[in-house]
Amino acid sequence: MIKDILTVMWKESKGMLRHRGSRARFLVILLAPFLLTVIFPLKHGAAWVQGLDSIFIAVFFPITLVSITIPNSFAGERERKTLETLLASRLPDRAILFGKVAISVALAWGATLASIFVGLVIVNVAHWEGHLLLLTPTLFLADVIVSFLLATLAAGAGVLISLRSQTVQEAMQTLTAVVLLPPMLLGMLLTALSDQVREIAGNLKSEQILLMVVIFLAVIDLVVFFEMMTHFRRSRMYLD
């Protein structure tokens, strides 16, 4: 099973950026977060490791990167006329699904953590105070865990959308709306209810808030993955 998943990951890594325009979009979307890892540390100094700048990267970077790679998973195969070949292979259904999800998650999560690391290097070089400036343990755990869960969630949702889409462009547009609209609406809601949110947050420790967020995201991840495995049927794909 693991060998089959690695086989799918290798195949995906070679093909995900072959779609017309994918490389350009990937580089453009990579540029913005990496600029943030330079500009914010230079501007904020020691406050960068104490505030929520890294959380911003951990939330939006994995989502945006996955939204570029995962739409190609099945819609890309359909466009290239290679879907039937994939379905006719000896690879188990779960190996195909998990392999396609894993490569997108690995790229997005790895790039996110690399961005945060670059930010730490820059803030220490530009604002050296005789000792290392590091993220607090809670903030570090939040960056690592939340970015992974969000990348996984976006990848699972992306596969569900890609299974139903006829083109990569269609899958990408739908996924972008699905994964970016809820955080935007949530941000607007939190801004409108900022006083109440501060009051509630003030009564909780940061570790408690992190735990609630992790549990919430993990539950949604499980639901999405269950739906993904339920909807992927080779017989249905052949008919489509």
Task: Give the C-alpha separation, 121 to 190, whole Å.
Answer: 32
Helix axes 137-164 and 168-192, enclosed angle (nearest 10): 140
The strand ranges marked E within the chain are none
- Contact predicate 152/221, CB 8 Å: yes
pLDDT in tens, 124-139: 988 887 788 888 888 8
Cβ–Cβ under 8 Å, residues 99 and 9: yes
The model's confidence at residue 8, banded by pLDDT at 50, 70 and 90, is confident
| Residues of the domain holding 82 | 2-239
d(CA 48, CA 52): 7
**N-term to C-term CA, the chain:** 26
pTM (2 d.p.): 0.84
Residue 233 vs residue 238, higher pLDDT: 233
Kindly report, residue by residue over 66-108, the tens digit of the pLDDT. 988 898 888 888 888 887 787 778 888 888 889 999 999 999 9
Res 1 pLDDT > 80: no
Q: How many domains does the chain have?
A: 1
